[in-house]
Structure 1
Amino acid sequence: MSRPGVVVTGVGLVSAAGIGVADNWRRVVAGEPTAARDPALVGCPIDFACRVPGFDASGLLGDRRAETADRFTQLAIVAAEEAMAHAGLGPDGADPTRFGVVLGTVAGGTATMEAQQAKLLREGPEAVSVRTMTMGLVSMAAGELSIRFGLRGVTMTVATACASGTNAIGIARDLIRSGKLDVALAGGADSPLTPLHSAAFHRLGALSRRTDQPLAASRPFAASRDGFVLGEGAGVLVLESDAHARARGATRLAEIAGYGTTADAYHVTRPAPAGTGAIRAMLDALTDSGLEAGDIDYVNAHGTSTRRNDEVESAAIAAVLGDGVAVSSTKGVTGHPFGAAGALEAGYSVLALRDSLLPPTANLTDPDPCVTVDLVAGAARGAKVRAVMSNSFGFGGHNACLVITAPR
């Protein structure tokens, strides 16, 4: 029995590559890295990051919303508003009780929590803002989107480390496919550019130490890579049942054809040897999509720029799809925006399908000889793109994979 299709009808993107789909895609396709010294990280051992440029929350959202929402929520709202406009969805475009929100995050409102903890220690309990919890909870971005757009369907937050955004899209797809929803805002948002996050990941040895060359620091699959770069952003897709999109005459941009998610059950930070969990997630997504390995034209890799992740992921991709598949990581441009990563990368995958164009991996001047897949480097590559695989893997052994195809 055929299962109902779930299509993408709107995309909203905010990252260090820019505010909006057009700016994001331009810089990602150009392979222009974005890392720079960050004012929030002055005095930290690693003092650079990939911050959204020129993000004026008051100008974009109004003073009240800027004052009462953590930055990760602000980013989510801006991305969601673009996605809704792109989809052509107004207040009467769908039954609000069958329109949901599924959003992934890792850090949530920890910037707010860090600031208020410092105020508590410095000035005492009465100095703590009454808005601390409503800004700091990881669930607030999803809640804010529900309130802002009057959406009363299933609304939830997904926290599966750096697989969160991808899992959120997969879960939303499944909710629509099951008949519980007609439409969903799905994606991820994170803004972990704080001294605590920088210090903690530095202590883990996960961050690049190229403080003298921030622009060259995020270099997935390069032999000289030495860690990831903190990033921030939000990616939101409008997902609809194919029937709903057709009934309202929406432009169907792509289909979420396959979804797979697994756990390594191995280690809190290291991937399972030989990428067994990642392989199962990719195989499950392929099976779910009904496609064969040879049908995948491009993989938007998790590709964090950490030595172990890149080696294990590339070996897993080769095991599932073969050495000839084209692969790149857009984190060379955006850095690693945690729970937003998979959502942004799903958006870039939709755009790769739209434009028949594969974005390059920035800073990939010295490919790791251990990586045997076909790495897209130097410049974007024109190609026939029928199906894209988008991978996300997170601490704790969380693995998630999407197969995104042209609408059928």
Structure 2
Amino acid sequence: MTARFRGVRRRTLDLCAGLSAEDLQIQSMADASPGKWHLAHTSWFFEQFVLARDPAWKPRNEAWLYLFNSYYQSVGPMHARPQRGLLSRPSLDEVLAYRRYVDDAVGELLASHADAELTTLVELGLQHEQQHQELLLTDIKHAFWCNPLRPAYHAAPATEARAPVPLRFITGREGIVETGHDGEGFAFDNETPRHRELLHPHALANRLVTNAEYLAFVREGGYREPGLWLSDGWATVQREGWQHPLYWDDDLSREFTLAGMQALSPHAPVCHLSYYEADAFARWAGARLPTEAEWESAAGQVAVLGNLQETGRLHPAPAEPGDDMLQMYGDVWEWTASPYISYPGFHPLPGSLGEYNGKFMCGQWVLRGGSCATPRGHVRASYRNFFPPHARWQFSGLRLGQDR
């Protein structure tokens, strides 16, 4: 556990290595957070939920408990999320020193008192930190896109040209199936308990929807046809003036990536879509979004491999040829047709950690599969991500489903 702890914590710093103190200070919108805050909050999590188990523990700075709390109301008050970018103090150097302080304390605890409860809490903290690694990338992407210079976070890796993989539908399992975490390895509480679901006759697309396919939707007036949209989605399109996915240029030939402006790759998965856009496209295509049970049933039959954070691409890639379900993991989070609600018999974690997932089970929709910014060891078939339906700054896209 000590080696894993050190490795995950080091990976967060590695993701920040090419960023300046100014880069790590900015907050481009209320939904995003400054990189410096991510660095501090993930350390706060270990201090609050691991180190503070010892009644004799003294926090590094009492005021920081307020600054770096996120939404744990039962722990205490917190600084307003939209104002995190105003926190010029503590400095980046102080935050990095805070991380070292927490790392040393947790490392010492693991070396001397590594019981089952401690390792469970540390693993939860590491999974939490991996979520913030992904948020670091998506938040800095949005911040750099807001900069007229459109700077690059990293150099675009070389990619091989691939022929498009033909779209086809693969029949899914039918009848009563078990879904949810199977008890092997780590899972968040919202993945439990394992339970039965009834799957009706259906099929899922063998790959993700591509830029070229979504471009046809845009050019054929998809953003101007109210009959394709949910009522709230159409209101959002009108209010926000959406005409194409986030980060596409208005000329529809380029998109902003973590490697800067790049030509739109026609066969790569379309990304940065809201639930509303994914749903409208599916209707336009004569299909629908998969349910999360349909998705999980298919994903449980393939290995957890794909274009994840470790490839270094940090952008969706065209599908590789294959006969099975493709791109189930990595590339983009896949919107499902399922609202984010509890499974039958769900119980949140005890105490303040019960605020981690359960209290958000209202007004959110489930995404599955991870993205090109998701760490490989952080995703599994039962993993449930969730965002409000208007959110589109994450690497989110879609796979089509249909009834049979």
Do they fold alike, i.e. is TM over 0.5? no
Structure richer in strand, relative to its length: 1
TM-score by length of 2: 0.30
TM-score by length of 1: 0.30
Larger Rg belongs to: 2
